[in-house]
Amino acid sequence: MKAPPTTAEAATSAGASTRVYRPEMARGWWLAKRHYFLYIVREFTALPLALWLLWFLVEIQRVSNGPKGYYPHSSPGFVAFSVIVLGFALYHSYTFLSLAGVIIHIKGVPSRLIVLSQFALWLVASVVIAAVLIGFAR
């Protein structure tokens, strides 16, 4: 039989002077490496996307104002905001769909093909949605 491990760690945790491990990260740690920075950018994409969707919901809500009260977002500020959001949106799409090769495993199918199928799905969905948004405008 194996004896239970008697490491220094186990000894201190059992003793009276228990020390709590507090991980500390320097402020601005995410600027130290390119990889860290891109990770933070990826996580941050959520905020601009959320704001754009809420603003879109406001536009939908304006329909209840009637034909005279309705007006779509048109200001140069909104267009500039959308350009910035599009950048974050594309980065979210790129990073998230690339992950599919890690998440989805199908025997005999190379992960590159799975990722490719996700990007193809994105392209097809985008074309269909654009066609609907433009096609129903008349």
Partner 1 sequence: MNHEATRTQKPAFAHLIWWFLFAQGGVIAAILIPVHVLVQGILGPLGIVPVVDRHYDTWLRVLSNPLVKLYLLVLIALPFFHFAHRLRYLLVDFGVPAAKSVPAQVVFYGGAVVVALVTIWVLLTTAPISLG
Residue type, 31: L
Q: Where in 75-104 is the site for partner 1 (CB under 8 A)?
A: 75, 78-79, 81-83, 85-86, 89-90, 92-93, 96-97
From CA 68, how far away is CA 78, in angstroms rounded?
21
Of 1, 8, 20, 60, the one binding partner 1 by CB under 8 A: 60
- DSSP secondary structure string for all residues of 68-96: HH------HHHHHHHHHHHHHHHHHHHHH
Which residue shows structure tokens 């989805």? 104
Q: Where do contacts with partner 1 occur on this chain (CB under 8 A)?
A: 25, 27, 30, 40, 43-47, 49-50, 52-54, 56-57, 59-61, 63-64, 66-67, 70, 72-75, 78-79, 81-83, 85-86, 89-90, 92-93, 96-97, 121-122, 125-126, 129-130, 132-134, 136-138
